[in-house]
Amino acid sequence: MSHASQAGTYSLGNRTVNRMGYGAMQLAGPQVFGPPRDRAAALAVLRAAVDAGVNHIDTSDFYGPHITNQLIREALHPYADDLVIVTKVGAVRGADASWNPAHSPAELTRAVHDNLRNLGVDALDVVNYRAWGTMHAPDDASIEDGFGTLADLQRQGLIRQLGVSNVSPTQIAQAQAIAPVVCVQNHYNLAHRTDDALITDLARQGIAYVPFFPLGGFSPLQSDTLSRVAARLNASPMRVALAWLLQRSPNLLLIPGTSSVAHLHENLSASELVIAPEWLGELDGMV
């Protein structure tokens, strides 16, 4: 059975994590809202992930809201010393399951305290400031005030390390002028490669890049090229898409999500795949 350590490790600031992690978004109900269809199954996935060597879990208290963090606490608390839980703030959920920006100092402070309470910790390992822009792409609006609020909370000892999400290079520079940034979480996968140059730049700085929607998100990746390479490797297209990310750059940390133990192990097994250079070239040419 695959182990998360097979993908190697990378630094997440002053912590070292296995490059194959887990994203908890899918543990909540439909539209990432409300309770899971099967609570026992959700708890089982979290425990299976840690048992398989996952020591980087991505979450947010606006998943549910509150529900995903409460599941993590129920399944895994007290947490293993090597487990790094990364959360994000900057949004709230409407009663209609809508996603709405929440960037005022009061909203960000409340979000940090919600995460602390629901995860059952005194300090959060890493908090990503989730800029808005559009749902899947950044703009260049200033994030100085919002990120500055999180830096204040870090100085108070409530946050250990800071990251940013859904951001442009300009916004990353704004954040770095305020406090160290240990990770960038943006939309990136085989078919969505806007951040190619940014990944290279962050690798030079030793900063982790964490692609969200690594398998396409709510609309899974579909490509004749991907299917053709997958057939050659006798693997599913999604395993190949994850393996491509692992081979893309050593600073990529993956957080594929699932609510199924079987699917969890399939995702982890992507670390065993080695894509030959000529096939990598075909995949690189998809966009």
| DSSP assignments along 240-268, one per residue | HHHHHHHHH-TTB-B--B-S-HHHHHHHH
Q: How far is CA 267 from CA 21, 48, 50, 281, in A?
A: 10, 12, 14, 22
Kind of pairing between the strands at 99-101 and 91-93: antiparallel
Amino acid at 57: I
Q: How far apart are alpha carbons 170 and 174 in whole angstroms?
A: 6
Quickly tell me which residue has 């790094």 as its tokens: 84
Q: Among 63, 129, 188, 209, which one carries the catalytic annotation? A: 63
Instruction: Return the sign of the alpha-carbon dihedral for residues 238, 240, 241, 243.
Output: positive
Two structure tokens written together for 191: 């078919």
How many angstroms separate the CA atoms of 160 and 153, rounded?
A: 9
Burial of 261 (0-12, 13-18, 19+ CB in 10 A): middle
Measure the CA–CA gap between 230 and 240, rounded to whole angstroms: 6
Q: Is 79 marked active-site?
A: no
Q: Which of 203, 147, 149, 192 is nearest to 170 (CA)?
A: 147
List residues with catalytic annotation: 63
